[in-house]
Amino acid sequence: MNIKTVFIILTFFFFTLNFFAQEIKIPVKEMYHIQSGDTVYVKRVNYFDYKGKYIVDTLFVANDSLYFHKKDKGQFLYVFSTNTDVPITYIPLLQAKEQYTFMLCSNFYTGINYLLLDRRFNKDEHDFLKEFYVLFTKKSFDRKLYEKEEYKLMPVEKAESLIAQQKNNFYDKLARKTKLFSASFIDYIKTEIELGSINQFLNWYEDTNEQYIKKEFKKTGKSPVHEKYYTYFLNRKWNKNSIQYFRMVERYVNYQISQQKGIFKNYHKESETYNKESIIRETTD
């Protein structure tokens, strides 16, 4: 994946947060495509609600800065832009949903102003998140599973080991600065790391072992490798603002539909049989 992006998720290097008034100030010099005098639309990113009201506020740039008050409790991901377009994350998920399994969030955040907003969000957290996604795009979990542009054949255990090594590198970087971060920020990063590594492993596994999985599935109605990872997923709590969490929920729903139909496919059109909300409640509450 040739992405230099820097996951502008949140390319706001400096802003001040008054914890009593919940006032946030963002200098526009740290933002893309926004300048003094612009009208800026604040859009909430919610991977599970594509058709809802995504524009939550309208701001005006004054004194080369954006000023606003945090209105909602909890953690939310927002995008700031001078247009009213649907947030870019929604477009492929609406128009080409069958490709969701092979998408990384680095495909979504190029050149756009994102802010992960919480009751506590400081510069240390922002800087770490920016660096985290720069590294994530350059050294994704599955990068050692490729030969040129194709996945390599290898034992499952070796692929798991290579991905685990890369995952541990990300955790090591987080561990060095954990004391600087809030629990909710750490929760977000850990969800991105843990589920990101699983998603990338399953991409490799489904690509290189497609025929084996189909035969195994036809014979037994399940895939032991998938079962192992989905059991792990369902027995832990995750941050639902993470796109990796969205990908895993979609993957698991697809797996259930495969079981219902008795045919394993990378993508089945969703039926009304499966309620994603129940999965979300189970894995985030």
Write phi, then psi, for 65 (nearest 5 degrees): -145, 155
HSE, side-chain direction, 13 A CA sphere, residue 16: 6
pLDDT at 73 over 70: yes
Structure tokens at 212: 């084996």
More confident residue, 165 or 267: 165
HSE, side-chain direction, 13 A CA sphere, residue 145: 29
The pLDDT confidence band at residue 10, using thresholds 50, 70 and 90, is very low
- Residues 85-104: what's their mean pLDDT? 71
The pLDDT confidence band at residue 271, using thresholds 50, 70 and 90, is low
DSSP conformation letters of 149-177:
TEEPP--HHHHHHHHHHHHHHHHHHHHTT
107 Cβ contact list (under 8 Å, min separation 6)? 1, 3, 92
Q: What pLDDT score was predicted for residue 229?
A: 98
Q: 181-201: per-residue pLDDT in tens? A: 989 899 999 999 999 999 999
Q: What pLDDT score was predicted for residue 83?
A: 94
Write phi, then psi, for 146 (nearest 5 degrees): -100, 150
Q: What is the mean pLDDT of the chain?
A: 82
Q: Is the pTM of this model over 0.85?
A: no
Q: 16-28: per-residue pLDDT in tens? A: 333 334 577 778 8
C-beta of residue 103 within 8 angstroms of C-beta of residue 92:
yes
Domain extents in the chain: 1-122, 139-285
- Residues 132-147: what's their mean pLDDT? 81
Q: How many CB atoms lie within 10 A of CB 272?
A: 5
207 Cβ contact list (under 8 Å, min separation 6)? 151
Does residue 179 sit in helix, strand or coil?
helix
Does residue 134 sit in helix, strand or coil?
helix
- Tell me how far apart the alpha carbons of residues 132 and 129 are, in angstroms, rounded to a whole number: 5
Q: What pLDDT score was predicted for residue 213?
A: 95
Q: What pLDDT score was predicted for residue 15?
A: 40
262 Cβ contact list (under 8 Å, min separation 6)? 217, 218, 221
The distance between the two most distant Cα atoms of the chain, rounded to a whole number of Å, is: 67
pLDDT at 270 over 60: yes
